């Protein structure tokens, strides 16, 4: 008994209580509202608008609590017609007028649509004004729902029930929307003819991470260590075999020219021929797992890893150089800024600006200070 | 500090986390069964150490009357009291730190187990990524078992082990098992003050852990309950069920209790024990107690 009490006391002393189980991390990519103004969804459930150059907060509002009393926004906000759309972990899609926000405010964000369960990915908008949004499903079913919502009146146009939780942002193609699930199913769902019905599905051996749609091919990385290339219209494999790494593919791959750059949790950035899936040069071996989506920043591809390193890779030569070190790892997708800079939303809740020439990343916006 | 953390993760947390996921995969993808099994496996693996610790504390408990006698006799001479106490330990073949060694060894293991359960229950993107990086790539199971199903059948239908139990049942189970564990491990009180302290402890810890079980993920509460259950079984095996089951006399580690040393009536400096009248009066009672504290005939341990 004494041992148990002592263990608990030690754990508490080190701040190792169960709070860490319910501790969300910054996950959403900053989105540009104007040249220097960004919108950020935070791990504390705030939607924050700020100036990335001056570091000044322009306004914020707060979302509600989801399961396990978690208040967070994991998906990147969407901007449309002067409004910010962001999905909360409380299962509510918010629509906010940025001009109505006040700095350091504790005002509640304006709800737009209520879904059945937590929203982890971000919303996507079709050219026809249909918002698409995935949920992780209720704890009873654990089957996520894809919602198609009329952006004008928040009415549900149709829904599609996935095989398991949806954590990603839906990707829109030609008449189809693609959603990836943690159960390993990639669903292609009709949006126009028979909307809400499944066009095709691809089953991976484990959950699917980031997806990239490029010239009619859907590239999807999975937790079974495979990177798949599928025909977006039919779901047929485009490569003779999926490309296999030593660990999961979590981030979405990036394509520039004929090359595909795929970061893996095995610490490597793989450089493949996008048509065949063959490696065209040696992978860039970094010192840590890569979770965040890479970004093309000027003439370099920028990545960050679990060891807080920033890397800058020349897409032509495949040569990578290590940049300055961040104070914390980055899970949120990296965002290009200016001609050659990148923005990193790190785990300490601040945004850092870095470039290949900059020795040390500069803390430009303390989102949650 | 970071190096210590890395060593802890590499040596303890990671093996246990992988063990948890492996057991989850083997045991019908049930997190509840995996937690129970991992707790049992760890406790069984450390069974020899636990037994040693329990035996050591049982020996110490058996020496309580003699220790009390020494305290009374030399209460005005702490140095002598200490010397006599150490002499008693030496003659009895007992080390006062004997129960600490196994405890210290088990300490990090318990922390590792605690963390493995915490990390295994995580079902947020961040915790999911953490899990992905800690799973051994050579394990036959990996990403395909994720996300781990943290539901288990419960009186309200299902219980999410990653969240606190919305019913009071799990906290009550934790509190009751903690009480039972306290009760069975409690040594006989020598004084009224000790008895009062024991009574407070008997209810304080169960209330505390019961309250924690209300706020912590129920997976952890399940682990506490199973762990208490195992400790009760081990303690019952070592020293009998006397404290727990009325009517069944407690067998105080007879199989392991060393022969009780004879106390000297004269201190090492040659003076009579105690320098005042009260102590002299006490010497008679000390002789009486000495008679009582002679080793009794050994009984076979109850099994």
Of the three residues B149, B167, B199, the one that is the final residue of a domain is B149
Residue from A195, A192, A164, A191 nearest A180 by CA: A164
Same domain, B69 and B173: no
Nearest-angstrom CA–CA distance, A122 and A252: 14
Taking CB atoms and an 8 Å cutoff, what residues of chain A touch B118?
18, 20-21
**Widest CA span in chain B:** 79
Residue from B50, B49, B63, B53 nearest B187 by CA: B63
What pLDDT does A199 receive? 98
Same domain, B77 and B182: no
Mean pLDDT (chain B) is: 75
Query: For residue B258, is it within any domain?
Result: no
- How far does A335 lie from chain B, in Å, by closest CA? 20
Cβ A70–B106 below 8 Å, yes or no?
A: no
- Residues A146 and A132 sit within 8 Å (Cβ to Cβ): yes
Mean pLDDT for the stretch of residues A243-272: 96
Q: What is the dihedral of CA A200, A202, A203, A204, to 10 degrees?
A: -160
Nearest CA in chain A to B179: A1
Instruction: Give the residue extent of every domain in chain A.
Output: 1-114
Mean pLDDT for the stretch of residues A278-303: 95
Residue with tokens 């009186």, as numbered in its chain: B155
Residue from A21, A67, A61 nearest A45 by CA: A61
Of the three residues B129, B149, B169, the one that is the final residue of a domain is B149
- How far does B162 lie from chain A, in Å, by closest CA? 8
Mean pLDDT for the stretch of residues B48-61: 77
User: pLDDT (tens digit, 9 = 90+) per residue, A330-345?
Assistant: 999 999 998 889 999 9
Query: For residue B49, is it within any domain?
Result: yes
User: pLDDT (tens digit, 9 = 90+) per residue, A186-232?
Assistant: 999 999 989 999 999 999 999 999 999 999 999 999 999 999 999 99
- Residues A159 and A147 sit within 8 Å (Cβ to Cβ): yes
Q: How many distinct structural domains can be found in chain B?
A: 2
User: pLDDT (tens digit, 9 = 90+) per residue, B222-265?
Assistant: 988 998 899 888 888 877 776 676 665 554 444 344 444 444 44
Neighbours of B119 (CB within 10 A): 20
What pLDDT does B111 receive? 82
Nearest-angstrom CA–CA distance, A172 and A132: 9
Taking CB atoms and an 8 Å cutoff, what residues of chain B touch A327?
none
Q: Is the dihedral of CA A45, A46, A51, A55 positive or negative?
A: negative
Same domain, B227 and B120: no
Nearest-angstrom CA–CA distance, A161 and A146: 6
Same domain, B20 and B134: yes
Cβ A247–B124 below 8 Å, yes or no?
A: no
Same domain, B49 and B182: no
Cβ B147–A246 below 8 Å, yes or no?
A: no
Cβ B111–A7 below 8 Å, yes or no?
A: yes
pLDDT at A143 over 90: yes
Looking at per-residue pLDDT, the higher value among A53 and B281 belongs to A53
Same domain, B23 and B140: yes
Mean pLDDT for the stretch of residues A109-132: 96
Same domain, B121 and B93: yes
Q: Are strands A295-297 and A279-285 parallel, antiparallel or unpaired?
A: unpaired
Mean pLDDT for the stretch of residues A264-268: 94
> Which residue in B126, B132, B182 is closest to A25 by CB distance?
B126
Model confidence at A84, in pLDDT bands (50, 70, 90)?
Answer: very high
Query: For residue B267, is it within any domain?
Result: no
Of the three residues B247, B275, B291, the one that is the final residue of a domain is B247
What pLDDT does B254 receive? 43
User: pLDDT (tens digit, 9 = 90+) per residue, B176-217?
Assistant: 999 998 888 777 666 777 788 878 888 888 998 888 888 888
Mean pLDDT (chain A) is: 91
Mean pLDDT for the stretch of residues A312-328: 94
pLDDT at A249 over 90: yes
Model confidence at A10, in pLDDT bands (50, 70, 90)?
Answer: low
Cis amide prior to B147 (ω within 30 degrees)? yes
Model confidence at A37, in pLDDT bands (50, 70, 90)?
Answer: very high
What pLDDT does A213 receive? 98
ipTM of the complex: 0.74
Which of B31, B42, B49, B125 has the highest number of chain A CBs within 10 A, making it the mutation to test binding with A?
Answer: B125
What pLDDT does B288 receive? 38
The DSSP element (H or E) to which A313 belongs, if any, is strand A309-313
Cβ A247–B146 below 8 Å, yes or no?
A: no
User: pLDDT (tens digit, 9 = 90+) per residue, B98-125?
Assistant: 666 666 777 787 788 888 888 887 778 8
Query: For residue B73, is it within any domain?
Result: yes
Burial bucket for residue A339 (CB in 10 Å: 0-12, 13-18, 19+): exposed
Nearest-angstrom CA–CA distance, A302 and A321: 10
The fold of A1-114 is Thrombin, subunit H (2.40.10)
Mean pLDDT for the stretch of residues B63-78: 83
Mean pLDDT for the stretch of residues A239-261: 96
Nearest-angstrom CA–CA distance, B171 and B177: 10
What pLDDT does A304 receive? 96
Q: Which structural domain, as residue segments, surrounds residue B190?
A: 154-247
Same domain, B118 and B178: no
Nearest CA in chain A to B186: A1
Same domain, B196 and B63: no
Q: Is the dihedral of CA B160, B166, B168, B171 positive or negative?
A: positive
Nearest-angstrom CA–CA distance, A239 and A145: 30
Same domain, B11 and B116: yes
What pLDDT does B291 receive? 38
Determine if residue B234 is left, alpha or beta; phi over 0 gives left, psi from -120 to 50 gives alpha, anything else beta.
Answer: alpha
For A121, how many CA atoms within 13 A lie in the half-sphere containing its CB? Answer: 29
Same domain, B233 and B213: yes
Nearest-angstrom CA–CA distance, B211 and B203: 12
Model confidence at A75, in pLDDT bands (50, 70, 90)?
Answer: very high
Model confidence at B270, in pLDDT bands (50, 70, 90)?
Answer: very low
Query: For residue B255, is it within any domain?
Result: no
What pLDDT does A218 receive? 98
User: pLDDT (tens digit, 9 = 90+) per residue, A344-359?
Assistant: 999 999 999 999 887 7
């Amino acid at each position: 008994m004494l041992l148990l009490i002592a263990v608990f006391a030690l754990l508490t002393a080190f701040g190792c209580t169960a709070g860490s189980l319910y501790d969300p991390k910054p996950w959403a990519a900053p989105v540009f509202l104007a040249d220097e103004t960004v919108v950020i969804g935070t791990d504390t459930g705030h939607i924050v608008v700020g100036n990335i150059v001056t570091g000044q907060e322009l306004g914020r509002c707060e979302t509600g609590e989801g399961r396990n009393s978690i208040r967070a926004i994991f998906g990147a906000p969407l901007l449309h017609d002067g409004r910010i759309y962001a999905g909360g972990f409380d299962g509510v899609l918010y629509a906010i007028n940025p001009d109505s926000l006040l700095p350091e405010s504790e005002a509640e964000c304006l709800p737009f649509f209520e879904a059945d369960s937590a929203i982890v990915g971000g919303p996507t908008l079709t050219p026809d004004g249909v918002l698409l949004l995935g949920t992780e499903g209720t704890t009873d079913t654990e089957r996520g729902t894809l919602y198609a919502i009329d952006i004008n009146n928040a009415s549900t146009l149709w829904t599609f029930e996935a095989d398991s939780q949806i954590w990603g942002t839906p990707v829109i193609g030609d008449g189809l929307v693609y959603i990836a699930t943690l159960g390993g199913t990639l669903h292609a769902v009709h949006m126009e003819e028979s909307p809400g019905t499944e066009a095709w599905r691809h089953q991976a051996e484990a959950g699917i991470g980031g997806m990239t749609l490029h010239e009619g091919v859907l590239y999807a990385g999975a937790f079974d260590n495979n990177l798949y290339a599928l025909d977006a219209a039919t779901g047929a494999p485009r490569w003779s075999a999926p490309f296999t790494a030593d660990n999961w593919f979590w981030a979405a791959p990036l394509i520039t020219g004929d090359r595909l750059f795929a970061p893996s949790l095995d610490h490597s950035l793989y450089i493949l021929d996008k048509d065949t899936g063959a490696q065209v040069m040696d992978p860039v071996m970094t010192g840590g797992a890569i979770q965040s989506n890479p970004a093309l920043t000027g003439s370099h591809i920028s990545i960050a890893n679990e060891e807080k390193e920033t890397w800058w890779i020349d897409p032509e030569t495949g040569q990578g150089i290590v940049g300055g070190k961040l104070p914390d790892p980055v899970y949120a997708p990296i965002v290009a800024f200016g001609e050659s800079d990148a923005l990193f939303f790190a785990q300490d809740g601040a945004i850092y600006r870095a470039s290949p020439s900059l020795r040390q990343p500069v803390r430009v916006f303390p989102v949650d200070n | 500090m970071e190096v210590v953390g890395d060593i802890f993760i590499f040596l303890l947390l990671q093996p246990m986390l992988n063990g948890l996921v492996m057991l989850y995969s083997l045991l019908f993808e049930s997190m509840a069964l995996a937690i129970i099994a991992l707790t049992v496996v760890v406790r069984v693996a450390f069974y020899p150490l636990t037994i040693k610790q329990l035996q050591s504390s049982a020996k110490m408990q058996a020496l309580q009357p003699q220790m009390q006698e020494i305290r009374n006799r030399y209460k005005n001479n702490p140095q002598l009291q200490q010397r006599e106490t150490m002499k008693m330990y030496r003659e009895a073949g007992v080390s006062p730190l004997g129960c600490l060694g196994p405890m210290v060894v088990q300490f990090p293991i318990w922390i590792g187990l605690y963390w493995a359960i915490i990390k295994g229950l995580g079902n947020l993107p961040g915790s999911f990524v953490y899990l992905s990086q800690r799973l051994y790539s050579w394990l036959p199971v990996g990403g395909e078992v994720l996300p781990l199903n943290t539901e288990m059948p419960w009186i309200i239908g299902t219980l999410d082990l990653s969240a606190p139990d919305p019913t009071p049942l799990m906290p009550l189970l934790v509190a009751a098992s903690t009480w039972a564990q306290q009760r069975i491990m409690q040594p006989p009180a020598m004084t009224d003050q000790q008895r009062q302290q024991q009574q407070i402890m008997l209810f304080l810890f169960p209330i505390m852990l019961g309250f924690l079980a209300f706020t912590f993920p129920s997976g952890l509460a399940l682990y506490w309950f199973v762990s208490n259950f195992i400790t009760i079984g081990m303690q019952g095996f070592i020293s009998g069920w006397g404290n727990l089951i009325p009517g069944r006399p407690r067998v105080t580690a007879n199989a392991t209790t060393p022969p009780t040393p004879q106390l000297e009536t004269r201190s090492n400096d040659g003076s009579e024990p105690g320098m005042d009248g009260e102590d002299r009066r006490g010497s008679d009672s000390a002789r009486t107690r000495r008679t009582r504290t002679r080793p009794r005939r050994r009984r076979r341990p109850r099994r």
